[in-house]
A and B are shown apart, each in its own frame.
Chain A
């Protein structure tokens, strides 16, 4: 990602330190990062300013990550198809299935190393080396 406007990522996680950790990795890789603290806040932000990629936690107050993705994918708007990377502490097979069903493009189990995050971000943004 060396030319043009930086790709924009919305990090959706209720834990401030996790958002900061993802922000740190993504900004060093050249992305512009915005944050939301739950699925509802993310929906609100996307209606105002669409992004190129979502990084989404599962367990969050008010609206969890799976419900957020389901609601987003149902919208009759361009934002409905923004690629989404789900990161979660829930590692069971039923959780992976739930993530896929909700519309996640990739599913990473926490803790996610920063370089792994940026590799997947690049894949989903079409910036793969």
Chain B
């Protein structure tokens, strides 16, 4: 299989336009190399030697190619401390701001959705214990939710392999995990019990609504798989699941700008995040 020729500027523009419209993923020219590599990979896998033919396949979504390409972009693999710049943003900027809005004794609520096999909600718990100096001063409630009940069972079990822990220092692994067989580690019970797992369907208002309102929602790399109608409804459900002034963090390739005008975009030092505005609120 020969290497496909590089995309021209015109081809790259067409592809990025299509991806933005279809999925809400936003790439600019600075990410060109990244886009180029993934597309070349997919052209190789589909046996399409020329971009126009590959693009026609993508537009027609032949063989589920849209999902395949999204998979190539998102690296469908979850591990501890993935996209840690957002966790840094959480402890440096978001939580101090949310904490100021709280009445004494009122819990700060964080939602990881979809949480898959638990790496993300446990990462949040671990990160806060390690990096948020105020963590002892507030009640923090972390909920992990997914539509896949088998993933939730695995999350609850709290067993992880080496790849899931690859971003954690040996010291962190030592302090928060116990060996549980060859190449397996179990997260400490204290940490395991600090996350509540539930099942949820993001496009079902009654299902998201039953979870109450959160200060921060992590919703990474799932809306890009939805069609326009589902994406619009899911965004509205997530808006409804935030307290006024609450934040939503998407994956690093995702942009709310194609999805919904309900949120205000906010830039913090470590990340772009979206906020449910405070106006008209009972905050």
Contacts and interface: CB of A to CB of B under 8 A. Distances in A.
A-B complex is real:
yes
Interface of A: 16, 20, 34, 36-38, 40-41, 43-45, 47-48, 61-63
B13 A41 contact: no
B272 A41 contact: no
B28 interface: yes
Given A37-B20, A40-B265, A44-B272, A62 B28 contact: no
B270 to A, nearest CB: 13
Given A40-B261, A62-B260, A47 B272 contact: yes
B267 A48 contact: yes
Contact of B28 (A34, A43, A63): A34
Contacts, number: 44
Contacts of A47: 265-267, 272
Contact of B258 (A20, A34, A48, A62): A62
20 contacts: A16-B13, A16-B17, A34-B28, A36-B257, A37-B17, A37-B20, A37-B21, A37-B258, A40-B265, A41-B26, A41-B258, A43-B257, A43-B265, A44-B26, A44-B255, A47-B266, A48-B267, A61-B258, A62-B259, A62-B261
Q: In which size bucket is the chain B interface?
A: 10 to 19
Contacts of B128: none
Nearest to A62: B261
A36 B265 CA distance: 15
A99 to B, nearest CB: 20
Contact of A40 (B14, B17, B21, B257): B257
A45 B266 CA distance: 11
Nearest to A16: B17
B256 interface: yes
Which 3 A-B pairs have CB atoms at the shortest separation, nearest pair first? Answer: A40-B257, A41-B257, A47-B267
Interface string B241-283: 0000000000000011111110001110000100000000000
B89 to A, nearest CB: 14
Contacts of A63: 257, 261
Contacts of B17: 16, 37
A47 B272 CA distance: 9
Contacts of B20: 37
Interface-central residue, A37, A40, A43, A45, by most chain B CB under 10 Å: A40
Given A16-B17, A37-B20, A63-B257, 11 more contacts: A37-B21, A37-B257, A38-B258, A40-B256, A40-B261, A41-B255, A44-B26, A44-B265, A48-B267, A48-B272, A63-B261
